[in-house]
Amino acid sequence: MPGRAEAKEAEMTATTSNPNSPAALPDYAPVPPSAQGPALNEVRGGGDLHIAVILGSTRPGRLGEQVARWVIEHARHRTDAEFDLVDLVDYPLPHLDEPLPPNMGAYQNAHTQEWAAVIGRYDGFVFVTPEYNHSTSGVLKNAIDYLYAEWNNKAMGVVSYGAAGGARAAEHLRLIAGELQMADVRTNVALSLFTDFKDFSELAPAAYQTQALETMLGQVIAWSQALAPLRQAAQAS
Ligand SMILES: Cc1cc2nc3c(=O)[nH]c(=O)nc-3n(C[C@H](O)[C@H](O)[C@H](O)COP(=O)(O)O)c2cc1C
- C-beta of 164 in contact with ligand 1 (< 6 A): yes
Digit-coded pLDDT (tens) for 167-194: 999 999 999 999 999 999 999 999 999 9
pLDDT of residue 36: 37
Q: How far is the CA of 78 from the centre of ligand 1 (A)?
A: 30
The set of residues, in sequence order, having a beta carbon less than 8 Å from that of 30 and lying 6+ positions away, is 12, 13, 14, 15
Q: How far is the CA of 205 from the centre of ligand 1 (A)?
A: 18
Percent with pLDDT over 70 in the chain: 80
Q: For residue 58, give the ligand 1 atom closest to its CA.
A: 27
Reported as a pLDDT band with limits 50, 70 and 90, residue 215 is very high
Digit-coded pLDDT (tens) for 20-57: 433 332 232 233 333 334 444 443 344 599 999 999 99
At residue 7, the 3 state secondary structure works out as: helix
Q: For residue 134, give the ligand 1 atom closest to its CA.
A: 8
The answer to whether 191 touches 210, Cβ cutoff 8 Å, is no
Digit-coded pLDDT (tens) for 92-119: 999 999 999 999 999 999 999 999 999 9
pLDDT of residue 47: 58
- C-beta of 64 in contact with ligand 1 (< 6 A): yes
Closest Cα to atom 23 of ligand 1:
130
The more confident residue out of 223 and 28 is: 223
Digit-coded pLDDT (tens) for 129-167: 999 999 999 999 999 999 999 999 999 999 999 999 999
Q: For residue 163, give the ligand 1 atom closest to its CA.
A: 11
Residue type, 32: P
- Is 50 exceeded by the pLDDT of residue 88? yes
Q: State how beta strands 197-198 and 202-203 pair.
A: antiparallel
Q: For residue 200, give the ligand 1 atom closest to its CA.
A: 21
**Could you say which DSSP state residue 103 is in?**
G
Closest Cα to atom 17 of ligand 1:
162
Reported as a pLDDT band with limits 50, 70 and 90, residue 237 is confident
Mutate to test the pocket of ligand 1, among 133, 196, 203 (most ligand atoms within 8 A of CB): 133
User: First vs last Cα of the chain: how many Å apart?
Assistant: 44
